[in-house]
Amino acid sequence: MYPENSYKQQAGAGLPIAIFIITVLSLIVLSMSQLQESSGKAISLQIQSQRAFFAAESGAQARVQQILAELEGGGAASCPADITSFGAGGGLASCSVEFDCPSPSAIFTLVSIGRCGSGPDRAERTIEVRLK
């Protein structure tokens, strides 16, 4: 019959359960955000890697065409180890290609190194082409 005494006898677990649920949910949200961030970085690096591969392949194809044209013209094939940058437009912007040609012999070897990006998103791919 006395309502003030009934409140003193009640012992609830609502507050500790609520704090536990909030803590668990915040940990889940934090882990999901870290997973999303690492996934985004991996995808970015994969794209840069593909761009570097295509830059190396494009550079190798262009240089092979140049070498074959020199050989068909009756001249000696030259392979300057210069660096070629791609234009500002297109999918290979901010990519470059460097060539390495060991001493020519009966089999001509061309090494094309494509580089894209900078900093932690930098990717490099190498393609080796042999001409006979």
More confident residue, 24 or 97: 24
More confident residue, 102 or 66: 66
Alpha carbons 66 and 112: distance in angstroms, whole number: 14
- Whether the predicted pLDDT of 1 surpasses 70: no
DSSP for 90-128 reads STTTTEEEEEE-PPP-SSEEEEEEEEE--GGG-EEEEEE
pLDDT of residue 88: 57
Torsions phi, psi for 111 (to 5 deg)? -110, 120
Nearest alpha carbon to residue 92 among 59, 54, 64, 122: 54
| The two three-digit tokens of residue 43, written as one number | 């995808």
User: Which runs of consecutive H residues, i.e. helices, occur in 1-132?
Assistant: 3-9, 14-72
- Label residue 125 by pLDDT band (50, 70, 90): very high
Nearest alpha carbon to residue 56 among 1, 111, 8: 111
Nearest alpha carbon to residue 132 among 60, 49, 71: 71
pLDDT of residue 28: 97
pLDDT digits (tens, 9 = 90+) for 75-99: 666 666 666 666 556 778 788 888 8
pLDDT of residue 18: 93
What is the reported pTM? 0.68
Q: What average pLDDT does this structure show over 58-63? A: 86
